[in-house]
């Protein structure tokens, strides 16, 4: 299935696969960096001196802290080193070395102009242009234009810049999950439409119709073309109403200079400063919410205007290539109005946000079912279904408050929830830690999703610490993760029932691997030193996510190596053995591939838990 979706795989240079990382031991221990414990700690009481702020300086410092805090949140979402390597490997596998070189340049250097990409990659102008168009076609790059000051005596000039969308690139290895969701909900006909959009990136309605006709030529010859078109229209509307597909964003939005745009905004100055250029570009390119999932009825009519426009576009615009092939563009100049012929043509793509939201819901239900019971999972699933139309963000912290009767009615729609009583549903909501806001005399509930995700993440980290450092380290780490404050060494030893000598050794091991933060306090009367320990949550989460990306890359390389090796083995077995031995060898290789692919899917679930959820 992945080969059909991603097109023909380009021949790669011989790569020696890295060591296989087992799913039970995802996190390999890194080389510890020796830290200089003799260096002074400027946060100890010895170096603290009272300092009195003025009111104006206090306000400025508060604003600076708000900006730095928002910057920390943004940098947490940035791609990790091995995440970039995994994204580059996926692009190399699907589109070849040239396209991957351009993509890697954008991932490592950040947002660049067309001329800068040519200078950094040392590729020809045509190769860079074609590579950028392929990446834009497959939703891996977003273009936008900005105004930059000209030279001495010259007017300002408009420059087109390109930024890589790392999350969309990583989503390419989740296409089987997306297809499975649509297949279970709507059936095979809708899956075919989604498969075409996943394979080609962006398609117009007429291109989707042409692709459907090519796949079902028997219906056209039998005179059932009109019925097939109506069925296709219904299936397309189902996907749009479920928000699985959406209109493509603007190909090249123009961003006003920050000074002029700030005057028109009514938000605070801090919010304007902390909004990055990339975030502004994505917001400007996104279609209006009222048009994002709108399917115009006129586009499905049997008239010829759209067809005529498509024919005219096909002569001048390489985006209307044959649907059965991987869509690549001829040389176009990004800084010119090369897309002018297509500006009135509506293109559609897969809405990754909706699929990530569904997978987030599934992860929450699985975690609640495992931690509590199956009834709590049924109730949470009912809350998600009732809130489906009201959710606009993927990382929503709390659900919309719902009436108890609404939740109960939604739970009764499932086969497992038909035997539940109203009191059992209320008890499950209390188990989930719901808030109970009241509106009049009605009873409403809201579930804290962020708490569920945090519990699932902590559980994964605790399992890693258990396998990596042992049972005693697991108890110490769990104490620090639950309390989230500084603890003395003696207090940790007493609470976790670990000898002080062993506890201190474990704490230093966790500290060297950046799992913990340590503070030294000098007790001057007793002339002794007290060590305080606290969980370094940010560093741990980043390290675990990067190691998961590394493990996923190793699995992809190992799977690629096994596929190449299987070709040679099957050729040898086919020439020297009987048919039964050849079929047995095929089954053995097939079982090995299934284990590797299933391990990769399980690992990807953990990656999404820490990055997307």
Kindly report, residue by residue over 530-548, the tens digit of the pLDDT.
889 999 888 899 999 999 9
Please determine, for residue 487, whether its predicted confidence score (pLDDT) is greater than 70: yes
Query: Cα separation of 420 and 376, whole Å?
Result: 11
The residue with tokens 């095929």 is: 586
Query: Cα separation of 397 and 395, whole Å?
Result: 6
Please determine, for residue 39, whether its predicted confidence score (pLDDT) is greater than 60: no
Please determine, for residue 28, whether its predicted confidence score (pLDDT) is greater than 60: no
Q: Which of 137, 141, 95, 98 is nearest to 121 (CA)?
A: 98
Burial label for 397, CB within 10 Å (0-12, 13-18, 19+), is exposed
Query: What is the pLDDT at residue 151?
Result: 73
Residue 178 near residue 194 (C-beta atoms within 8 A): yes
Q: Can you name the residues that pair with 158 across neighbouring β-strands?
A: 147
Query: Cα separation of 323 and 307, whole Å?
Result: 15
Token pair belonging to 238:
């189902």
Q: How confident is the model at residue 443 (pLDDT cuts 50, 70, 90)?
A: confident
Average pLDDT on 436-445 reads 66
Average pLDDT on 13-32 reads 36
Q: Element (H or E) spanning 146, and its range? A: strand 141-148
Looking at per-residue pLDDT, the higher value among 335 and 356 belongs to 356
pLDDT over 70, % of the chain: 73
Query: What is the pLDDT at residue 355?
Result: 95
Token pair belonging to 33:
């960096």
- The CB-based long-range contact list for 486-492 (8 Å cut-off, 24+ gap) reads 486/519, 486/532, 486/533, 486/534, 487/532, 487/533, 487/534, 488/530, 488/531, 488/532, 488/533, 489/530, 489/531, 489/533, 492/533
Q: Which of 451, 424, 454, 456 is nearest to 435 (CA)?
A: 451
Query: What is the pLDDT at residue 507?
Result: 92
Please determine, for residue 171, whether its predicted confidence score (pLDDT) is greater than 50: yes
pTM beyond 0.75, yes or no: yes
Q: Element (H or E) spanning 402, and its range? A: strand 402-403
Average pLDDT on 240-250 reads 93
Query: What is the pLDDT at residue 190?
Result: 94
- Strand 141-148 relative to strand 254-255, pairing: parallel
Average pLDDT on 431-460 reads 82
Average pLDDT on 452-468 reads 92
Please determine, for residue 269, whether its predicted confidence score (pLDDT) is greater than 70: no
pLDDT tens digits for range 287-337: 998 889 988 765 555 444 344 344 444 444 433 343 444 444 333 333 333
pLDDT tens digits for range 71-129: 333 333 467 899 999 999 999 999 999 999 999 999 999 999 999 999 999 999 999 99
Q: Which of 456, 474, 457 is nearest to 465 (CA)?
A: 474
What are the start-end ranges of the E strands in 174-237?
203-204
Query: What is the pLDDT at residue 298?
Result: 55
- Strand 516-523 relative to strand 203-204, pairing: unpaired
The residue with tokens 């009111």 is: 55
Under 8 Å CB-to-CB from 272, ≥6 apart: which residues?
258, 261, 262, 265
Q: Which of 423, 424, 408, 410 is nearest to 375 (CA)?
A: 424
Please determine, for residue 27, whether its predicted confidence score (pLDDT) is greater than 50: no
Token pair belonging to 530:
């007290």
C-alpha to C-alpha distances, 401 to 209, 294, 406, 436, 439, nearest whole angstrom: 42, 28, 10, 8, 10
Token pair belonging to 328:
């690549």
Average pLDDT on 407-433 reads 89
The mean pLDDT of the chain is 77
Please determine, for residue 524, whether its predicted confidence score (pLDDT) is greater than 80: no
Query: What is the pLDDT at residue 72?
Result: 36
Please determine, for residue 215, whether its predicted confidence score (pLDDT) is greater than 60: yes
Please determine, for residue 62, whether its predicted confidence score (pLDDT) is greater than 80: no
Q: How confident is the model at residue 574 (pLDDT cuts 50, 70, 90)?
A: low
């Amino acid at each position: 299935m992945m080969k059909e979706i991603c097109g023909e795989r380009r021949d790669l240079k011989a790569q020696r696969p890295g060591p296989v990382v087992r799913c039970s031991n995802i996190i390999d221990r890194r080389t510890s960096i020796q830290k200089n414990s003799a260096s002074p700690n400027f946060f100890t009481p010895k170096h603290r001196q009272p300092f009195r702020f003025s009111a104006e300086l206090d306000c400025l410092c508060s604003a600076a802290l708000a900006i730095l805090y928002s910057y920390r949140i943004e940098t947490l979402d940035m791609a990790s080193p091995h995440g970039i390597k995994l994204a580059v490997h996926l692009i190399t596998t699907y589109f070849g070395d040239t396209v991957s070189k351009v993509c890697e340049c954008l991932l490592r250097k950040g947002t660049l102009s067309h001329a800068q990409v040519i200078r950094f990659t040392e590729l020809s102008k045509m190769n860079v242009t074609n590579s950028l168009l392929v990446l834009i076609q497959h939703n891996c790059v977003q273009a936008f234009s900005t105004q930059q000051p000209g030279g001495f005596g010259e007017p300002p000039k408009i420059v087109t810049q390109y930024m890589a969308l790392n999350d969309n690139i990583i989503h390419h290895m989740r296409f089987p999950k997306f297809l499975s969701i649509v297949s279970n909900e709507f059936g095979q006909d809708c899956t075919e439409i989604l498969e075409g959009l996943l394979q080609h990136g962006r398609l117009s309605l007429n291109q989707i119709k042409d692709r459907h006709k090519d796949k079902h030529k028997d219906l056209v010859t039998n005179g059932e073309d009109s019925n097939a078109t109506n069925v296709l229209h219904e299936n397309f509307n189902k996907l749009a109403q479920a928000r699985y597909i959406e209109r493509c964003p603007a190909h090249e939005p123009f961003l006003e200079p920050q000074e002029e745009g700030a005057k028109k905004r009514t938000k605070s100055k801090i919010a304007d400063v902390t909004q990055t250029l990339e975030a502004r570009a994505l917001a400007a390119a996104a279609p209006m919410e009222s048009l994002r999932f709108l399917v115009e009825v006129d586009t499905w009519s049997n008239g010829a205007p759209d067809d005529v426009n498509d024919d005219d576009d096909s002569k001048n615009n390489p985006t209307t290539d044959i649907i059965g092939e991987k869509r690549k563009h001829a040389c176009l100049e990004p800084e010119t109005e090369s897309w002018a012929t297509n500006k009135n043509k509506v293109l559609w793509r897969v809405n990754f946000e909706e699929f990530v939201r569904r997978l987030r819901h599934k992860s929450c239900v699985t975690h609640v079912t495992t931690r509590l019971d199956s009834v709590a999972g049924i109730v949470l699933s009912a809350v998600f279904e009732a809130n489906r139309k009201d959710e606009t963000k993927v990382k929503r912290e709390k659900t919309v408050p719902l009436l108890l009767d609404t939740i109960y009615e939604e739970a009764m729609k499932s086969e497992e929830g038909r035997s539940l009583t109203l009191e059992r549903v209320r008890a499950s909501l209390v188990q989930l830690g719901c808030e109970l806001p009241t509106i009049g005399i009605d009873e409403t509930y809201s579930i804290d999703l962020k708490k569920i995700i945090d519990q699932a993440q902590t559980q994964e980290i605790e399992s890693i610490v258990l396998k990596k450092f042992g049972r005693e380290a697991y108890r110490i780490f769990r104490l620090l993760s639950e309390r989230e404050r500084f603890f003395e060494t003696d207090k940790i030893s007493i609470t976790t029932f670990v000898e002080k000598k062993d506890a201190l050794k474990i704490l230093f091991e966790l500290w060297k691997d950046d799992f913990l933060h340590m503070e030294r306090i000098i007790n001057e009367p007793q002339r002794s030193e007290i060590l305080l320990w606290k969980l370094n949550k940010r560093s741990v989460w980043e390290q675990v996510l990067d190691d998961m990306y590394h493990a996923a890359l190793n699995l992809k390389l190992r799977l690629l190596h096994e596929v190449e090796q299987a070709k040679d083995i099957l050729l040898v077995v086919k020439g020297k053995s009987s048919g039964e031995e050849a079929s047995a060898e095929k089954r053995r290789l097939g079982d090995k591939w299934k284990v590797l692919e299933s391990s990769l899917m399980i690992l990807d679930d953990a990656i999404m838990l820490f990055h997307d959820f």
